[in-house]
Amino acid sequence: MPRFLHTRLCDLLGIEYPIIQAPMAWVAGPELIAAVSNAGGLGVLPAQVAQAKDRPSKPGHELPAPEEWFEGDEIELKRRLIRQIKSLTNKPFGVLVREDRRWMEMVVEEGIPVVVNSGGAPGRVPEFLKPYGIKVVHMGSTVAHAKKCQEAGVDAFVLSGYEGGGHDPGGNDKITTFAGLPQIVEAVDIPVIACGGIADGRGIVAAFMLGAEGVRVGTRFATTVEASNHINHKMAIVQAGDTDTVRRGEVFGDILRSLKNPFVKKLNELETSGAPLDEIKAYMGHESVRVAAMQRRLLGQVYGDAVNGEMHSGQIAGLIKEILPASEVIRRMVAEAEAIINGLARAWIEDRAFSRSITLPQG
C-alpha cells in the first residue's frame, strides 16, 4: 500500500485502506459490507436493510422484509445480519449504533470492533463501549461538533459535507466538505474522515491534501453489484448528471439529499414556495414527515418506484457511470490515488532538479 494512504485511521480500525463505506439504510447489506471489508476498507451495517424487490437472495443470506423492522425485534434482526457478515468476512467491520443500552450490549456480545454514530451528540456511547476496546466513530459537520466529540472520547470524526447524499448533508449551516475539512482538522487531534463528494482516487487525494486521514464513501458504493438496493436506484444514480440531486427538508426538519424525480421535485417546490406544513405532510402521505420519508424511501430504494419513491444520492452521482463490484471500486480508487501522488512526487523531484541546474545571474 502507498504510504500516503496509510494513516492513523488504518491502525485505529485495523484496515488496509482508509476507505469507509457509509452506513446507508436499505442499501448496505451483509454482501456489500463484507465485500468492502474483504477489499481492505471498512464496511458498515446501517440501521435497516431489506430484500429489494426482484433481487434474489443467496440461500442462507436472506434479508428481512421491510415490515420486519417495524413489527419485529430490531436488535435481534441486527444480530442476525451481523452473523451473516461474519460468515462472509473475517476482517473488521462496523455497525451503526444508537444510545440504547440493549442495543449497545448486543454490540459488545457480538464482538463488533467499530461503531459509527450518525449525527447528534455522542451521548454515553463512548463511555459504554470504549472499555470493551470498541472504536467509536461519530459524524457531524461543524468545528464545534468535532470538538465535543473529541471531548466525549470519540476516536475519529466524520465531516459530512453539503455535497453528500442521505441524511443531513452539511447540517443546518450547509458546510461543504472541502471548506469544512481543513477547519475541523485544525481544531481537533483525532483523525478526521471526509465524507461528501468523494467517488474516486482524485477525491481521496484532495481530501488528504486538506488533512483528512480517511474518506467515507456512500453514493459510489450504492452503485455496486453487492449493494442491496433496487436496480432502479442504482441505474438512476448512473444516469444522473451533476444537477440531478436536491437537498430538501430544511423547512420541516428532515434534511436529506435525493435524486430529482417527480415526487422529489414537487416536494421541493412545495417547500421552497412556502407551502404550509400541513400541505407538505399531506403530499408526503403521513402526518409524521419522518414516517413519510421512510415510506417514500422504501418505495424508491427497496421497491424501485422511481416516480413516487425517494432515492438518496450525493452530488457526485454525475461522475458515476457504471455498476461495479465493491472490490473493483476500491482497487480503482487506490490505484488512481497512488498514481496521482506518484505523479506529483515525480514532478516535485524534477522541478527541484531543474532549479538546481540553473545558474542565476550575479549582482
DSSP code string of 216-260: EE-HHHHTBTT--S-HHHHHHHHT--TT-EEEE-TTTT--EEEE-
Tell me if the pTM is above 0.85. yes
- d(Cα 34, Cα 91) in Å, to the nearest integer? 8
Phi-psi region of 197 (alpha: psi -120 to 50; beta: other; left: phi over 0): left
Asked if 31 and 51 touch (Cβ cutoff 8 Å), the reply is: no
pLDDT value of residue 120: 83
- d(Cα 237, Cα 234) in Å, to the nearest integer? 5
Give the domain ranges of the chain: 3-229, 233-315
| Count of beta carbons in the 10 Å neighbourhood of residue 137 | 28
Contacts for 285 with CB less than 8 Å, ≥ 6 apart: 292, 295, 296
pLDDT value of residue 209: 95
The answer regarding whether domain 3-229 maps to CATH 1.20.58.1180 reads no
pLDDT tens-digit profile, the chain (363 residues): 557 799 999 999 999 999 999 999 999 999 999 999 999 999 999 999 998 998 887 788 889 999 999 898 999 999 999 999 999 999 999 999 999 999 999 999 999 999 998 888 899 999 999 999 999 999 999 999 999 999 999 999 999 999 999 788 888 899 999 999 999 999 999 999 999 999 999 999 999 999 999 999 999 999 999 999 999 999 999 999 999 999 998 888 888 899 999 999 999 999 999 999 999 999 999 988 889 999 999 999 999 999 999 999 999 999 999 999 999 999 999 999 999 988 876 765 666 665 566 555 564
pLDDT value of residue 356: 61
Single out the residue of 194, 218, 288 nearest to residue 25, CA to CA. 218
